[in-house]
Amino acid sequence: MTDPIPPKRIFPDAKVDAQAAKQIRTSAQTEDPAYRLAFQDNDFLLRQDLRPVRFQLELLKPELLLDEQQIGSTFVFYGSARVPEPAKAEAQLNAARTDEERVIAERLVAKSHYYDVARELARLVSKTDRDDEGKRHFVVCSGGGPSFMEAANRGAQDVGAESIGLNIVLPHEQLPNPYVTPSLSFQFHYFALRKMHFLLRARAVAVFPGGFGTFDEMFELLTLIQTGKVRPLPILLYGREFWNRVVDFEALVEEGVISERDLDLITWCETAEEGWAHVCDHYARQQAGRAA
């Protein structure tokens, strides 16, 4: 006699109950919102009191789906949503009508070549092989929007690789760029949860010229590493001329608010090749250290 095999579960699947709930006869009771299944009641889920539950859902949904798709680690790209690719930047310069518009357009042109750098870097990192468990590593992850984010997802697509887009609901429309893999395109309500997902699997980060959002993401990561909340990982900072113009890093040291060694958290880069070489060297040294 063979040993009995118990069923995997004894409670009905939530999908079954949800379907059954749609087929009940209507009455004054069943028509009232109070009778809806809690997880199907959007008005209930959107109540102020349910914010902790929504936090949990925004943490859990991408985590489960990324696990299911064997995403072991990511290579995160931060940068402006306003710097167009070179051809479009030139067109914007040609369309400038005032001196102010022309000066801004010229500066966008000067930064636009980093679109091609981000795209090439994404191509390089996306060729990483799966590990022995079948997990994918250094999967390109961007904010899912235009400019440098688009360049990153586009570079991954160039070599037939999937890439992630973490979009955010904003007052003005922001659709995912067309190069994000649809099954890896996520939308967030909470900036905090989106930022958390940027870093949960991050094993390298490339930061391109950007504004408030880029500053926020980069300095939060630097703070997490500086304070020991996150292990050191490669942070590639592209566009030294831009960054030194908008942030005086040395002055922070001179003012005593950061230490000289904190600047070592940043690796200055200009090309895709030198950025990827630094990442490879960083992890090669780590492996050698563990072996020793």
- For 142-152, what is each residue's pLDDT tens digit? 999 999 999 99
Q: Tell me the pLDDT band of 1, cut-offs 50, 70 and 90.
A: low
Give the mean model confidence (pLDDT) for residues 109-133: 97
Provide φ and ψ at 202, rounded to 5°.
-65, 130
C-alpha torsion sign, points 130, 136, 140, 144 = positive
Indicate if the pLDDT at residue 22 is higher than 80.
no
- Residue-range domains of the chain with CATH: 74-291 (3.40.50.450)
CA–chain centroid gap for 66, Å, is: 12
Q: How far apart are CA 51 and CA 246, in angstroms?
A: 37
Phi-psi region of 83 (alpha: psi -120 to 50; beta: other; left: phi over 0): beta
- pTM value surpassing 0.75: yes
Give the mean model confidence (pLDDT) for residues 211-230: 96
The Cβ of residue 197 has, within 10 Å, a number of other Cβ atoms equal to 22
Indicate if the pLDDT at residue 173 is higher than 70.
no
Q: How far apart are CA 236 and CA 145, in angstroms?
A: 20
